[in-house]
Amino acid sequence: MKIVVANWKMNLGVRESAALAKGVLRVLRGLPAVPEVILAPTFPALPSVGKILSRSRVRLAAQTMHAQEVGAFTGDVSVKVLKEVGVQVVIIGHSEQRRDHGETDHGVHIKVVAALAHGLDAIVCVGEPLAVHDAGESNGYVHDQLQTILKGVEVGRRHRLFVAYEPLWAIGTGHTPTLHDIEVMHDHIRTTLSTLDIAGVIGLYGGSVRLENAYELLHSSHVDGVLVGEASARMSSLTEIIRIASERS
Ligand code: PGA
């Protein structure tokens, strides 16, 4: 089954998020085969979107979290509170969190451990900046990220671990690696994870996923699914990407 993760970032308000979630459910009802869909709205929209999704198989995700359950962390939202409002999945280490909030690989590691311990599925984002890509050093860069983030992490039966390969230079730019490069990176990620004794990880690609490239990405046997930003915040492109995913589900 292919996976579509919609990362709505800060692009939609509470009402818009609820409307789009309802639209997604309508589209899924009409599909012969249903892909796995995960919706990640802005924090204040989590309860209302969660209510809409409650009797469906569409899963509710948060865009980040704090690893602590409670405490003096102004402006943060704890993993425990996310669970209270029905969150099942959390995106951790997105490059925009790294850029804007100084998130480090070590910080991502701590959050992943906390998310899994609380029974949430974790979507871990990795990916290289442009200079590293241009220097031909992407594999080593992503390898080091995974080493720091996932070393010693145990993936139990209660939760799933996703690794989203999101090259920084592809996010929101309209530029993407070639399909071949994406497939090679996914193989490289799996090999790295096996050296860490981690199996069963779900591999996503993210970074300028659009209608134009969704077909080839979702038809690749190396890629389990897509993490979609900008194109997921519009009903027409999101539902079309879900439809493409359903052909492979
Ligand atoms: P984009 O974002 O699809 O707008 O490039 C992807 C992401 O940031 O997860």
Which of 42, 162, 171, 212, when mutated, tests ligand 1's pocket best, judged by the most ligand atoms within 8 Å of its CB?
171
Measure 168 CA to ligand 1 centroid, in angstroms: 9
Instruction: For residue 230, give the ligand 1 atom closest to its CA.
Output: 4
Output the DSSP codes for 113-140: HHHHHTT-EEEEEE---HHHHHTT-HHH
Q: Is 209 in the pocket of ligand 1 (CB under 6 A)?
A: yes
Q: Is the CB of 172 under 6 A from ligand 1?
A: yes
Q: List alpha helices for 118-221, DSSP H.
A: 130-134, 138-150, 179-195, 211-218
Task: Give the residue numbers marked as catalytic.
Answer: 94, 166
Q: How far does the centroid of ligand 1 lie from the alpha carbon of residue 214, in Å?
A: 13
Alpha-carbon distances of 190 from 56, 76, 138, 222, rounded to whole Å: 31, 32, 15, 10
Q: Which two three-digit tokens encode residue 47? A: 């309860």
Ligand 1 centre and the CA of 8: distance in Å? 9
Closest-lying ligand 1 atom to the alpha carbon of residue 208: 5
What's the pLDDT tens digit per position in 155-204? Answer: 877 789 999 999 999 999 999 999 999 999 999 999 999 999 998 899 99
Greater model confidence, 249 or 147: 147
Residue pLDDT, tens place only, 191-237: 999 999 998 899 999 999 999 999 999 999 999 999 999 999 999 99
- Judge if the beta carbon of residue 87 lies within 6 A of ligand 1: no
Q: Which of 166, 210, 234, 237 to mutate to test the pocket of ligand 1 (most atoms within 8 A of CB)?
A: 166
pLDDT of residue 154: 87
Buried b / exposed e across 68-103, counting CB within 10 Å, b at 16+? eeeeeeeeebbbebbbebebbbbbbbbbbbbeeeeb
pLDDT for position 155? 86
Share of the chain above pLDDT 90, in %: 94
The CA distance from 155 to 201, in Å, is 9
pTM of the entire structure? Answer: 0.97
58-95 per-position pLDDT tens digit: 999 999 999 999 999 999 999 999 999 999 999 999 99
225 and 2 Cβ atoms separated by less than 8 Å: yes
How confident is the model at residue 226, as a pLDDT?
98
pLDDT given for residue 24 in this prediction: 97
From the CB of residue 202, how many other CB atoms can be counted at a distance below 10 Å? 16
pLDDT score at 248: 78
pLDDT tens sequence across 89-101: 999 999 999 999 9
Query: Which pLDDT does position 157 carry in this prediction?
Result: 76
User: What pLDDT is stored for residue 158 in this prediction?
Assistant: 78
Minimum CA distance residue for ligand 1 atom 3: 229
